[in-house]
């Protein structure tokens, strides 16, 4: 991967703080990931940490999409 390359990830990003009113869907999606794939949904901070664990040079350049939407585009680059 070149320093000018970008990785685009289309993923659901959980809010940092899940409220009872808006959190039911997020909790349901997270539970579904656990049961079906032994995985979990992550917040933006958790995704950044996951990328860092894969390669210390990865950083999230930006996150595009509607805050309350289903998915967002995460743009990742090398530092």
Question: Could you state, in order of their start, the residue ranges of all structural domains in the chain?
Answer: 7-78
Q: What is the mean pLDDT of residues 7-11?
A: 94
Higher local confidence (pLDDT), 11 or 68: 11
Q: What is the mean pLDDT of the chain?
A: 87
pTM: 0.78
Q: How confident is the model at residue 26 (pLDDT cuts 50, 70, 90)?
A: confident
Sequence-separated (6 or more) residues with CB below 8 Å from residue 66: 72
Ordered alpha helix ranges (H), 1-79: 23-37, 44-54
Using CB atoms within 10 Å of the CB of residue 39, give its burial: 0 to 12 exposed, 13 to 18 middle, 19+ buried: exposed
pLDDT at residue 35, as a whole number: 95
Statement: residue 22 has pLDDT above 70: no
């Amino acid at each position: 991967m070149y320093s000018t390359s970008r990785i685009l990830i289309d993923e659901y990003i959980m809010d940092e703080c899940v409220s009872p009113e808006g959190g039911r869907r997020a909790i349901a999606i997270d539970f579904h990931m656990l049961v079906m794939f032994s995985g979990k949904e992550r917040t933006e901070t958790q995704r950044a940490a996951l990328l860092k664990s894969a390669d210390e040079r990865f950083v999230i350049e930006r996150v595009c999409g509607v805050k309350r939407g289903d998915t967002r585009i995460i743009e990742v680059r090398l530092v």
